[in-house]
Amino acid sequence: MELKGVDAKWREAWRSSKVFEADPDERDKFYLTVAYPYVSGPMHIGHGRTYTIPDVIARYKRMRGFNVLFPMAYHFTGTPIVGAAKRVARREPGFIRVLTEKYGIPEYMLGDFENPHYYANHFARDSDLSYRKGMELLGLSIDWRREFTTVDPHYSKFVTWQYNKLWNAGLIVKGKHPVKWCPGCGNPVTDHDLLEGEGAEIIEFTLLKYRLGDLVLPAATLRPETVFGVTNLWLNPRAKYVIAAVDGERWIVSEQAVEKLRLQGHSIGEVLPWTPDVKADVEVPMTHRKVPLLPADFVDPDNATGVVGSVPSHAPYDYVALVELQLRG
């Protein structure tokens, strides 16, 4: 028996008989939906599992006599599709190879894929690699008259209506909270949005302000209670540091930290270069003791402020670094 022929026969029988189209009648209704696929690329085996499960439920409910409505949609919004279109526009070699060699897109069509909507439509329903084609080949019992995308006007209006209802009911509150942020796009991002770097965590530091005359060295720490054991501050002698006007004070931070502070809503004024003086002593907050500035290559200037408090009693790195400095004289 040629199974592909059997497959095609029944798919055509279901289509021509309109057996999956749900219209109002006297039967009990059953509405079934599932997360819309995000169409930044074609289907993979995981989608087969995702959409077969609700299909089994839909078929079971039909056999139980329910009038089953099983629609389908495509998720067009979000940064991954926009990012993919930009990668096409930049003609990134690796990505272009995937599109042309793996997905069979002719090079003369690549210009069309610079448009995010065209890109999404191609993988949603306009090609043999589309979700629509794949779901039809799987024989999913979807009412295709109900097909839509998240950028269709009626769907956008529906989302607006939802938010207005929630806002008017006092169930939406505008506030501040840490988010992963893409400075290139100017948007919050999640792991789903990232080309690389998935799994990065949001880390909340406490800044302790050490004083050097009228200057502030804000050291970031996860354990502010250890300030009483601070023996020195570490600065990276290979990094670039600046004096930046921050919220009315003059802070010494790494060059990379300035933009991070700006993105977090701090008022940033004049920024001047500063050369670390490893002979200087700074004043520790709370205790008002004086401790020295010392060099340490292990300090990452791109992590927090690039200024690190040293507590050798609690941090082996600090202890080892101090011993090595003593041995070097």
Same domain, 99 and 243: no
Using an 8 Å Cβ cutoff, are 309 and 208 in contact?
yes
Q: 190 lies in a domain?
A: no
Same domain, 124 and 225: no
CATH of the domain at 91: 3.40.50.620
Terminal alpha carbon distance of the chain: 85
Same domain, 16 and 144: yes
Same domain, 157 and 306: no
Same domain, 213 and 163: no
Give me the mean pLDDT over the 197-222 stretch: 89
pLDDT, tens digit, for every residue of 26-55? 999 999 999 999 999 999 999 999 999 999
Same domain, 105 and 214: no
Q: 53 lies in a domain?
A: yes
* Higher per-residue confidence, 324 vs 118: 118
Can you tell me the distance from the alpha carbon of 75 to that of 55, in angstroms, rounded to the nearest whole number? Answer: 19
User: Does the structure show a pLDDT above 80 at 191?
Assistant: no
Same domain, 157 and 72: yes
Q: 193 lies in a domain?
A: no
Q: 29 lies in a domain?
A: yes
Same domain, 24 and 151: yes
Can you tell me the distance from the alpha carbon of 207 to that of 221, in angstroms, rounded to the nearest whole number? Answer: 6
Same domain, 44 and 141: yes
Same domain, 252 and 164: no
Question: Percent of the chain scored above 70 by pLDDT?
Answer: 98
Give the CA-trace dihedral at 210, 212, 213, 215, to 10 degrees.
-80
Same domain, 25 and 161: yes
CATH of the domain at 240: 3.90.740.10
pLDDT, tens digit, for every residue of 122-159? 999 999 999 999 999 999 999 999 999 999 999 999 99
Range of the domain at 146: 3-168
Contacts of 304 (CB under 8 A, 6+ apart): 205, 220, 257
Same domain, 213 and 76: no
Q: 154 lies in a domain?
A: yes
Sign of CA dihedral 98, 104, 105, 106: positive
